[in-house]
Structure 1
Amino acid sequence: MKVMFADRTDAGRKLGRALARERWVAPVVLGLPRGGVPVAAEVARALDAPLDVVVARKIGAPGRPEFGVGAVTAEGPPYYSMAALHVFGLTPERMARACERERAEARRRLKAYRGDRPELSVTGRDVLVVDDGLATGVTAMAAVRQLPDALRVVLAVPVCAPESLVEFEGEVDGLVTLAAPKRFGAVGRWYADFDQVSDATVVRLLGTGRPSTTDGA
């Protein structure tokens, strides 16, 4: 296995150079916290674009919270993987309480990250949704589906699972990745340094200047 990136900053710089070769209309860069924000910060720098955040929370299977059957943002509709629901014998209706719990957490985190800064308008603009990698893609899917007013929605990640390229066809106007290795495994295996990103780091990169109360959550 060949490590592709030293850390998220390195990945963001490489992704930013690739994206800078394209022409964008008034681009806005949205990072998925927490790990996607350091990558997104470098992309925003490369494109000379404003940086903001889009918070999507994984909806975990009962008894298996690490296994995401769907995801939800602070305001948009939830997204469910029908295949994952089928595996656990679940329905969206049965996940409604878990969905609303995660939506409330998404709203709380969004306020903590953004502070009093107003949300950036994406109307008529190219929006690049950035994460540090794409495995199952449930949180990214929920994020891109809440941007109907954007001119174009492009999902940009340093590395992704090959099946994600198919999963997002028709969902976004483009998916930009530097690599889609066949033996993907986990996102972290492609980084030399994949330490957890703190909420304080997210706040600092977004420039809100507000203290965070969600570290370690």
Structure 2
Amino acid sequence: MARHRFADRLEAGRLLGRDLARRHWTDPVVLGLARGGMPVAAGVADALGAPLDVMVARKIGAPTQPELAIGAVTADGAHLYDTASLRAFGLEPAQLDDRRASEAAEARRRQNAYRDEGPLKVRGCDVVLVDDGLATGLTAVAAVRALRHYDPLSITVAVPVASTSARERVETEADAVHTLDEPSTFYAVGQWYRDFHQVEDDEVHAILRQRSGSDV
């Protein structure tokens, strides 16, 4: 059983930020994985006194079970597939090209809608990539791979809760993975929140507007 069942993403962000603030960071930049990671990322950015920006990654769902992630893609086109899931569904990556292209286009649309300041400004910075949790880790890995092209000093993926398998997957790509909880039994990220409402575009925009008007 997890040590925390978070009231909501805001509480999770405050707790995660407090934990991360104990570490030394070089010019930290916090990136929230939209959409669910943004309220968590806001709390982390507050705790670190760091600028907040947004990163978009989309899951690639199985053809017969679209809610089941078998891959992920970012707005920059960085993508990956879970080979075990491909085998289980008898799929080859080429069979998912149309689905991948569609999700990449949606990721670009969302990223362009959320931000209008050009490329991410993370060169030479410690990037803290925040989500509300890691179930498979696929979207986080896709985001990390895309972020490497921006030449950050380091990339830490930080989440309130993660499955062991997802944490291990992300550790192969990120410089560090920071979690508050890693429950032995893990079905979905939402089971570790009392309030796990769908984060909509308006909430993402409001978070970014609030931060752009702050002194951080």
TM-score (norm 2): 0.92
Could you tell me how far apart the structure 1 residues matched to 2:146 and 2:123 are?
12
Aligned-partner Cα distance in 1 for 2:164–2:141: 15
Instruction: Kindly indicate whether the alpha-carbon contact (under 8 Å) linking 1:72 and 1:142 is maintained by their aligned counterparts in 2.
Output: yes
Amino acid at match of 1:205: I
Distance 2:78 2:120 in 1: 20
Aligned amino acid, residue 139 of structure 1: T
Equivalent residue for 2:207?
Answer: 205
Structure with bigger helix share is: 2
1:14 aligns with 2:15: yes
Q: Provide the C-alpha distance between the structure 2 equivalents of 1:13 and 1:205, rounded to a whole number of angstroms.
A: 15
Contact 2:132 2:160 in 1 (8 A): yes
Instruction: Look up the equivalent residue of 1:194 and give its one-letter code.
Output: F
Partner amino acid, structure 2, of 1:182: S
1:184 aligns with 2:156: no
Q: Aligned AA for 1:195?
A: H
Q: Tell me whether 1:78 sits opposite 2:79 in the alignment.
A: yes
For residue 89 of structure 1, report the CA deviation from its aligned partner. Answer: 0.9
% identity of equivalent residues: 56
Give the equivalent residue in structure 2 for 1:121: 121
Shift of 1:72: 0.5
Is contact 2:56–2:74 with CA below 8 Å preserved after alignment? yes
Q: Name the amino acid aligned to 2:176.
A: G
Counterpart of 1:29?
A: 30
- What secondary structure sits across from 1:94 in the alignment? helix
Task: Determine the structure 1 residue equivalent to 2:106.
Answer: 105
Query: Corresponding residue for 1:63?
Result: 64
User: 1:189-212: CA deviations, max 9, x gaps?
Assistant: 111111111110001101189xxx
What secondary structure sits across from 1:153 in the alignment?
strand
Provide the aligned length of Structure 1 versus Structure 2: 208
SS of residue paired to 2:202: helix
Question: Partner of 2:68: helix, strand, or coil?
Answer: strand
Instruction: Report the secondary structure of 2:27's partner residue.
Output: coil
- Deviation per residue, 1:137-178 (Å, 9 max, x gap): 111111111111111010000000011222123311100000
User: Matched residues in 1 for 2:167 and 2:64: separation?
Assistant: 29
The answer on whether the counterparts of 2:161 and 2:189 sit within 8 Å (CA) in structure 1 is yes
TM-score (norm 1): 0.91
Q: Aligned-pair distance for 1:76? A: 3.5
What residue identity is the alignment partner of 1:112? A
Given that 1:39 and 1:132 are in contact with CA atoms closer than 8 Å, whether structure 2 keeps it comes out as yes
* AA of the residue aligned to 1:43: V
Check conservation: 1:36, 1:132, Cα contact below 8 A: yes
Of the structure 1 ranges 102-111 and 199-208, higher mean CA displacement relative to structure 2 is found in: 199-208
* SS of residue in 2 equivalent to 1:70: strand
User: Contact between 2:70 and 2:82, CA under 8 Å: does it hold in 1?
Assistant: yes
Runs of 5+ unmatched residues, structure 2:
212-216
Give, in angstroms, the shift of residue 118 of structure 1: 3.2
8 Å CA contact 1:117, 1:208 repeated in 2 = no
Q: Which runs of 5+ in 1 are unaligned?
A: 210-217
